[in-house]
Amino acid sequence: MSTFAIVLSVLLLMFFAYRGYTVLLLAPIMAALAVILSGDTAQMLPIYTETFMRALGNYMLAFFPIFLLGALFGQLMADSGAATAIAKWIERSLGSRHAILTVVLACGILTYGGVSLFVVAFAIYPIAKSLFRDADIPKRLVAPAIALGSFTFTMTALPGTPSIQNAIPIKYFGTNTFSAPGLGLIGGAIMFTLGILWLHSREKAARAAGEGYGEHDDNDAGLRAMVGEADMSGDPSRTMPLMLALLPLVLVIGINALFTYGIFPGMDWAFLKQRFPTMDATRQTGMWALIIALVVSIIVLLLVSIGRWANLQQSINKGALGSMLPIFNTASEVGYGAVIASLAGFAIIRDAVLNVSSNPLISEAVAMNVLAGITGSSSGGLSIALQTLGADYLRMANEAGISPDLLHRVAVMSAGVFDSLPHCGAIITLLSICKLTHKQSYLNIAAMTIVIPLIALSVVIALGTMFGSF
């Protein structure tokens, strides 16, 4: 009965999430339902306070700085005009003849530099719309192009990306954001290349069928309302020189690498033992490096953007507040996962997942994909999976002689596959921004975010199994 309760709560979570209900309420309600149907009704309140809330709180303690700094950095990049300056430069360099490539590269550069995918979607959509209209490419391909550049290789595969997905495994595997860099680059190259080829094939097919941009209501009033006063319209008064616009993005990656490979490895952490006797500093340095990189980049961005702010206080507040909903949503999902993991029926599910394959990488990929698909969130699914199964995978990897770095990269890439099923909040938001429907664009979005990343993941697992981490 407990296993049935878990499956039912998961299905209901997916259904109501797709209908648009907030995970903040869904997660504890569905967790409570699973507890009741499992016959543990008398323990429901203790399970809520001691299991659900403890897991939620621990997740907040571990990852709040990354969510906060990432959201703040993204908002400041947008409101300073830096994001628009970079996008406009790529547009001028490639032009409407390469509209698809322009959009993908603009999105890719911004997200790899640490700008959140939502901010990127808001910033790039007006440019993408104009480019596609001038090139007479169907508007339904705008959303897949943005998805390819924002949701895929820069968030999960490329080494050093400051995305929250790439930071989450650090806590569980003692790794860093540059884990398995060679395999990450290969995976990223596959996603980028196949994605571009697919989009161009769809463009050619549309031209052959006589389909152009089409007639659409491209009034951006609703978009501006979603963005707020600090919009990303490219106000000439706030235009930023390209080199200054790129500097914060370069610093995020560069400083992260400097501390990860240069400064922290040579430090003696013995001085921390007296005050933090239970802490293993070597398992925290990956997170510390990312925090330092984001803080320095934010400070530099503030300094180089003096005189360009429409309302700096508003931008800072909006960025900080914008971090709240994502982290609470994800933390709530982690709390739900902790409750599910505490139920007797979970042992059957856990054993089934762990025994999918004798290769821990395949088993890990299945677990991450399933949970990311259920939650509609790569960070949420990844967090639940690692919270409940991370120690098991690390043990299995050690027994099989598999590097934790390889575990890290496979976990992150896996979480970025089935997370974009139709109920995914990011997909729904992207379609809303682009004023498109699932019917118009989802199949091509799925090709970008599910089919092609799955191919890349399979190649990375195969290479990692044969040659180890590199």
For the stretch 311-342, pLDDT in tens is 899 999 999 998 888 888 888 988 998 898 88
Does 221 score more than 80 pLDDT? no
Does 223 score more than 60 pLDDT? no
Q: What whole-number distance in Å separates Cα of residue 100 and Cα of residue 110?
A: 16
The one-letter code for the residue type at 394 is: L
DSSP 8-state symbol, 40: -
The 10s digit of each residue's pLDDT in 46-63 is 999 999 999 999 989 989
The one-letter code for the residue type at 131 is: L
pLDDT classification of 455: cutoffs 50, 70, 90: very high
pLDDT at 231: 47
Q: What whole-number distance in Å separates Cα of residue 457 and Cα of residue 461?
A: 6
Give Cα 289 to chain centroid, integer Å.
19
pLDDT classification of 228: cutoffs 50, 70, 90: very low
Domain encompassing residue 314 = 2-467
Kindly give, in sequence order, each residue whose CB lies less than 8 Å from that of residue 193, ignoring residues fewer than 6 positions away: none
The 10s digit of each residue's pLDDT in 172-214 is 999 999 999 999 999 999 999 999 999 999 999 999 999 999 8
Helix (H, G, I), strand (E, B) or coil at 329: helix
Output the CA angle 185-62-12, nearest 5 degrees.
85
The 10s digit of each residue's pLDDT in 402-449 is 999 999 999 999 999 998 888 787 888 899 889 888 899 999 999 999
DSSP 94-151: H-GGGHHHHHHHHHHHHHHTT--HHHHHHHHHHHHHHHHHHHT--GGGHHHHHHHHHH
Q: What whole-number distance in Å separates Cα of residue 6 and Cα of residue 2?
A: 6
In the chain, how many domains are there? Answer: 1
The separation between the first and the last C-alpha atoms of the chain, rounded to the nearest angstrom, is 45
Does 280 score more than 90 pLDDT? no
Does 237 score more than 50 pLDDT? no
Higher-confidence residue of 278 and 103: namely: 103
**Could you tell me if 330 and 381 are in contact, meaning their C-beta atoms sit under 8 angstroms apart?**
no
Q: What whole-number distance in Å separates Cα of residue 244 and Cα of residue 235?
A: 17
Among candidate residues 429, 417, 438, the one with its CA nearest the CA of residue 152: 417
Strand ranges (DSSP E) for 263-409?
none
Site of tokens 């409570």: 32
